[in-house]
Amino acid sequence: MTPSDPLHIAEVLVQALPHMLRYDDATVVVKYGGHAMGDESKAREFARDMVLLEQSGINPVVVHGGGPQIGAMLAKLGIASHFAGGLRVTDKATVEIVEMVLAGSINKQIVGMINAEGGHAIGLCGKDGNLVIARKANGTVHVAETGMDEAVDLGFVGEPVRVNTRVLDQVLGRELIPVLAPISMGEDGETYNVNADTFAGAIAGALGAKRLLFLTDVPGVLDAEKRLIERLSADEIRHLIADGVITGGMIPKVQTCLYAIEQGVEGVVILDGKQPHAVLVELLTDGGAGTLITR
């Protein structure tokens, strides 16, 4: 049989049906970013996948980032980027650009693509309906000369304090797909740029999501021989960090996974967003994709 053979298509649908029933009326939060966001064909493929999920009775919630686009806009406007220990310092001028790019152009591009594929997306950010209240985040950098971690002022970088799901409760289950930008208001009235992974974890926890999917640029969590680990528990994650198997940028990613699980998310998956239909493969096939992390 070829992939276009009617019998093959029927068998694919039969395999997907139990998974559709499993996720019927369940909430799935998808953190969207990386190379998949910058490739128009992959972006449209992602949009079609979100529409298919919604039309299959699943409630997808999209949270997006936009670091490269922010950097490009800052450079275009001649606003210098400042870093402390490799971390971007977000001053007043920068946070205005961040809000414009994330809650404006990127958010509406994703909304437009989903709508163009037959969906009904609605763009929101953490400010809307006080969805996510943030506070100023404290950054730390490791100083090699002293061997100590020192605090740095990252400016208007925030972390979630609480989530009010009232707006999303009105949207989900009504054939609408919320697309969320990680810009939030603080109790001090300031605007804060929240890490998109952390933002997605907070949203997924507050909604009691069945799955939180992180679309990344890697296949998932790898072992010491660089082989994909298909499933991990929270305790196994901590051991792999302690043993030096999980290092670098994957550490904050899996720490966000642990945070989401502690907030009540049933399972978190780290998977390669560059792979065709990665979300559908993970949710609607027997084999799945990436690394599943559970309590």
SS (H, E, C) 126-164: CCHHHCEEEEECCEEEEECCCCEEEEECCECEEEEEEEC
Q: Which two tokens stand for residue 27?
A: 């909430």
- Closest residue by Cα to residue 219 from 228, 208, 231: 228
Whether residue 9 lies inside any domain: the answer is no
User: What CATH code is carried by the domain that includes residue 231?
Assistant: 3.40.1160.10
Asked if 279 and 49 touch (Cβ cutoff 8 Å), the reply is yes
C-alpha span between 163 and 226 (Å, rounded):
37
Whether residue 187 lies inside any domain: the answer is yes
Buried b (16+ CB within 10 A) or exposed e, 191-204: bbbbbbbbbbbbbb
Instruction: Examine the pLDDT at 120 and tell me if it is beyond 80.
Output: yes
Domain range spanning residue 39?
A: 24-294
Whether residue 191 lies inside any domain: the answer is yes
The residue that leads in pLDDT, 112 or 148, is 112
Instruction: Examine the pLDDT at 223 and tell me if it is beyond 70.
Output: yes
pLDDT of residue 146: 61
C-alpha span between 86 and 70 (Å, rounded):
16
**pTM for the complete prediction?**
0.89
Q: How many CB atoms are closer than 10 A to CB 137? A: 19
Q: Which two tokens stand for residue 180?
A: 């969320």
Give the number of domains in the chain.
Answer: 1
Confidence grade of residue 32 (pLDDT, cut at 50, 70, 90):
very high
Confidence grade of residue 87 (pLDDT, cut at 50, 70, 90):
low
pLDDT of residue 37: 72
Q: Which two tokens stand for residue 243?
A: 């043993």
The residue that leads in pLDDT, 99 or 252, is 99
Whether residue 215 lies inside any domain: the answer is yes
Whether residue 10 lies inside any domain: the answer is no
pLDDT of residue 54: 94
Whether residue 150 lies inside any domain: the answer is yes
The residue that leads in pLDDT, 154 or 4, is 154
The letter for the amino acid at 223 is D
Distances from the Cα of 264 to the Cα of 20, 24, 130, 207, 229, angstroms:
21, 18, 21, 9, 23
Whether residue 130 lies inside any domain: the answer is yes
Asked if 28 and 145 touch (Cβ cutoff 8 Å), the reply is no
Whether residue 284 lies inside any domain: the answer is yes
